[in-house]
Structure 1
């Protein structure tokens, strides 16, 4: 047998387990053999499981990505100065000590996905021949091939989207001219490969290209713990909103709503809302990251950090949307109406699992409705804004039909996004991409004055390129404002 060479996931290798994931019926992998090991389609599913497992990491959606999107905004805060991820809340980082996990995650997982995407095209298919997948589904080779490829493209797009919005200024600030992240979209054989940063516009072009292709390839079915067609379309519609391409955002979102609901997805009712978070794979969840007791981030997880009040609701948010709007079913997602530690209840114990092992919702049907409503209101299409906002607004306990057309505004839509996705890591990005101010009215004393009220002109709305990358890679440049401070 020939000697096998591996490409490992760098820093992730020490963070992630290589143990089996029963829910996938396949062992996951954080390293790929580079010479001739991927010979059957099921081998590629094995590789994809490694990518999904990596997404569980506390350095990514397991905790940090969610914490960052909420703690940098105005509706959540660190409970005390020693809370986990307090630096996101205080913005107290500079070019030498900025967060590095996001950057490493993208590099590591994208490298493996690129190997998959290269080698899956080398498989000699008998397109109409039926095979049994590891999930005991009978599919033709062509359908199975396309579905695996679509998942890989969608995950790669999500990774690039996240590092782009973390390290590059909002697309609409300068039409994508700022530098973001390197686009890693090909297999790199050179161990000394040292990429340079691409512009935000170039990154968004790569993201949308991957997602458009992924949507064509992915099966329009429910897939527990894996990205399906409707999840990829949710991300694509969100990306279009970030770019200001409201026509495409609307078209993709509305098409996805029709397709997903035809497949059996539906919005939660008001009666279901508070309790259904404890039920994995329910009617509104298009894609969630699955945690098991054997492979979750544990005490580093977002479920643990919320429940142990490392991050809690701000007084402003609690009073306006939780205490005073008690008819809103979403007010039940805060721990109590009187505690000084009002934490998020969206990561409860599920089945026989602890809250430490709660699954992490990434794309919900409700986002498609809100994406469609936001795109419509930005096109001055009040009729369709009403149509798609109404079922979400009903969660307030009120009827949108009681509001005049003049009241159907972008601010109203963003307010519903604010309540709907509280604790899910979207608030900061929704404000900044629309050049709305982040206004913090109650905060720890450690929060500097410059981080109490800011918009997209504040240089720290983007992260500094990690110091180790700057030291190792002479082709890398730092976000310029960090060089001045």
Structure 2
């Protein structure tokens, strides 16, 4: 597969050049003269903000965010070693010069810097429409700092006031200061995120589509952030605000089973998604190309037919999902079966079952097209369920879990199902696993709840010690990534993770 991954890299480089060139027609993040001209008019500020959204669609941001968030989980299996850094991310053999971590770190701060230029240009006395623009950029800045502190700072539950997080870049930090800024503590970064989201929610008053930041998107992210902080009352408060707004609906039946196959603005459940159109299809460079190889109807084919098909749903996840064969969430898995026989990737011993994942494919009938969903209504029910579980509101937690299970078409839980061996928190976390799989939640859900990632299934992790068993404890050093060495070379004040 070395040739294949080199092919991906070449396509990504070409797409990056095209993307940069197209973006620079409207947004000039490193040219002070152009910035000055662009950011002095309402139309210019709107154009700059659209440029910030567009940058989220770049391969440098979108793909790297997904791999860094998702590959450390126990719901995926890599079926064969590759020459790319993806193998290191999956196996927890992280590098100080990781290509994926370095590129994501750089791209996230690139967008943060761009957002700061817009925020800085809009005074408190600005008109309502400009305040909306400012609020949207505050949301983007908060989202990016949150992603960064999860990836490069330890879980909030582990000494947040002393553990280093990531550098905070606000609009008051000059370019000269940004070059030497130190890492703030995890707690300080979270406080900054909360302040941005609360202010952004206050400023955003326009009811936009789910491809843009909105007040309810800020509330949804506040619910997630507070949950990560174990501020359960606040997590419930903001989940309630989103659910009770009645703007979003849980999709049902076939609409749910094809959730990720429609354009995001027509999806009634998505709160915030990174919209791609048919002309923005990265094809073999897209995230979904490593998950799936098949036709436009979700039927699996051999590797290389439409994508590389190297990352699969883990046998552990598939077996757990299949405990209820009628579970509608099985629609998001396309097992590669030939003449009734489940196919196995034999490039490893033991071989990995080829359970293709199609959550990142098939949008509008295009095999490798996707609009990654960052926030959706089902998570709000599950955030509220987890927070209530931790507050010992067992029935309330079960009620929300059962909403999700009813939608999936599987049996619901009663209070008698909650036992010492199967606690209410166990039940909630299991449902989060089933519902939010392959969306970048699982490893964080485990580590922030002081639980390990346990891999007892085939995958490239077996090449580390010759066994399929790998356990990563929440206190292990490598549950987070190294600060990229290239950034430390440029900024000597950036401390390294142990």
Which residue of 2 is the match for residue 238 of structure 1? 224
Residue 454 of structure 1, aligned match among 468, 472, 496:
472
Partner SS for 2:273: strand
Q: Does structure 1 residue 57 correspond to structure 2 residue 58?
A: yes
Q: Does structure 1 residue 16 correspond to structure 2 residue 19?
A: yes
Instruction: Name the CA shift for 1:355/1:151 in 2 (closer, same or farther; >3 Å).
Output: farther
Which residue of 2 is the match for residue 160 of structure 1? 145
Which has the higher mean CA deviation after the structures are superposed, 237-246 or 220-229? Answer: 220-229
Contact 1:18 1:29 in 2 (8 A): no
Distance between the aligned counterparts of 2:317 and 2:90, measured in 1?
16
Residue 225 of structure 1, aligned match among 192, 195, 211:
211
Which residue of 2 is the match for residue 314 of structure 1? 314
Instruction: Quote the RMSD (CA, aligned, Å).
Output: 2.5
**1:418 Cα shift?**
0.4
Contact 2:135 2:199 in 1 (8 A): yes
Contact 2:23 2:51 in 1 (8 A): no
Which residue of 2 is the match for residue 24 of structure 1? none
Contact 1:79 1:312 in 2 (8 A): yes
Residue by residue, what CA displacement relative to the aligned partner does 1:207-227 show, whole Å, maximum 9, x if unpaired? 000011111122362414112
Partner SS for 1:312: strand
Partner SS for 1:50: helix
Q: Does structure 1 residue 341 correspond to structure 2 residue 354?
A: yes
Instruction: Name the CA shift for 1:185/1:324 in 2 (closer, same or farther; >3 Å).
Output: same
Q: Does structure 1 residue 324 correspond to structure 2 residue 309?
A: no
Residue by residue, what CA displacement relative to the aligned partner does 1:19-76 show, whole Å, maximum 9, x if unpaired? 389xxxxx7535263324322222112111121111112233x222222322211110
Residue 121 of structure 1, aligned match among 114, 120, 123:
123
Partner SS for 1:343: strand
Partner SS for 1:227: coil
Instruction: Name the CA shift for 1:248/1:15 in 2 (closer, same or farther; >3 Å).
Output: farther
Partner SS for 2:157: helix
**1:293 Cα shift?**
4.0
Which residue of 2 is the match for residue 469 of structure 1? 487
Q: Does structure 1 residue 269 correspond to structure 2 residue 252?
A: yes
Which residue of 2 is the match for residue 392 of structure 1? 404
Which residue of 1 is the match for residue 8 of structure 2? none
Aligned length: 441
Instruction: Name the CA shift for 1:278/1:95 in 2 (closer, same or farther; >3 Å).
Output: closer
Partner SS for 1:362: strand
**Unpaired stretches in structure 2, ≥5 consecutive residues:** 1-14, 293-306, 344-352
Residue 383 of structure 1, aligned match among 384, 388, 395:
395
Distance between the aligned counterparts of 1:18 and 1:267, measured in 2?
39
Residue by residue, what CA displacement relative to the aligned partner does 1:382-413 show, whole Å, maximum 9, x if unpaired? 23213322211214423435452635601111
Q: Does structure 1 residue 210 correspond to structure 2 residue 196?
A: yes
Distance between the aligned counterparts of 1:96 and 1:73, measured in 2?
21
**1:83 Cα shift?**
7.0
Distance between the aligned counterparts of 2:107 and 2:161, measured in 1?
23
Contact 1:83 1:310 in 2 (8 A): no
Partner SS for 1:410: helix
Contact 2:224 2:383 in 1 (8 A): yes
Residue 183 of structure 2, aligned match among 197, 208, 223:
197
**1:172 Cα shift?**
0.5
**Unpaired stretches in structure 1, ≥5 consecutive residues:** 1-11, 22-26, 126-140
Instruction: Name the CA shift for 1:51/1:449 in 2 (closer, same or farther; >3 Å).
Output: farther
**1:356 Cα shift?**
2.6
Distance between the aligned counterparts of 1:64 and 1:74, measured in 2?
18
Distance between the aligned counterparts of 2:492 and 2:180, measured in 1?
8
Runs (4+) off by over 6 Å = none
Contact 2:287 2:360 in 1 (8 A): yes
Distance between the aligned counterparts of 1:213 and 1:449, measured in 2?
51
Partner SS for 2:36: coil
Which residue of 2 is the match for residue 110 of structure 1? 112
Q: Does structure 1 residue 76 correspond to structure 2 residue 90?
A: no
The TM-score normalised by the length of structure 1 is: 0.84
